[in-house]
Amino acid sequence: MIIKTVNLETVCGITSTFPENILPEFAFAGKSNVGKSSLINALMNRKAYARTSAQPGKTQTVNFYNINDAFYYVDLPGYGYAKVSLQEKERWGKMIERYLHTSRQLRAVFLLVDIRHEPSANDKMMYEWMVYHGYAPVIIATKLDKIKRSQLQKQLKLIRSGLGLKGESLILPFSAETKQGREEIWALLEELMQE
């Protein structure tokens, strides 16, 4: 897809009502620092549209990016930032759940995990929420350039077992550094948009 326009159209905080969009939505979740902003920028061919987090966990909003007036890229708040109170963590969690529960246009959810590490308890919880709300999350394993090619299968297995993925669940390895995996993610988004 040729990206003509990217507009951050709506920003929702804890108490905001989510917009009732007509265009399809695709939501992206992952813990702080996993590379979510870098993924958005790589997909959109923008250098710094979504701010990469100098202070992870700071912006706790749901951001709706209108792309080409064709679909929304929905950036869910990063979770798991250690320096935040439990109460605050619960509020973000509720916001994410509320979005998953209420969006009518949400076509697919993407969960980002770092390819180098075993998924955390928060990653697993997020995955389970997504499944609970009826979605089959697509896993994006970020920072692919940080591992050796020979480690890939082992790491994918670790992610699969850590999240408790079912056999058919898709994991797409991705690197914002080399852009490896970008075409596969785009192909999937385009396919889902047709549905």
Residues forming the site for ligand GDP (CB under 6 A): 30, 32-38, 52-53, 56, 78, 142-143, 145-146, 175-177
Please give the C-alpha separations between residue 74 and each of 21, 36, 45, 61, 100, in angstroms, as whole numbers.
11, 11, 17, 10, 11
Please give the C-alpha separations between residue 167 and each of 133, 143, 161, in angstroms, as whole numbers.
19, 23, 10
List, in sequence order, every beta strand (DSSP E) within 35-148: 62-67, 71-75, 106-114, 138-142
What is the helix (H) or strand (E) element at residue 81, kind and residue range?
Answer: none
**How far apart are CB 52 and ligand GDP at their closest, in Å?**
3
Closest CA to 31 of 156, 161, 163, 131: 163
C-beta closer to ligand GDP: residue 50 or 165 = 50
**How far apart are CB 32 and ligand GDP at their closest, in Å?**
5
C-beta closer to ligand GDP: residue 35 or 119 = 35
Which residue is nearest to ligand GDP, using beta carbons?
35
C-beta closer to ligand GDP: residue 23 or 118 = 118
**How far apart are CB 35 and ligand GDP at their closest, in Å?**
3
C-beta closer to ligand GDP: residue 165 or 176 = 176
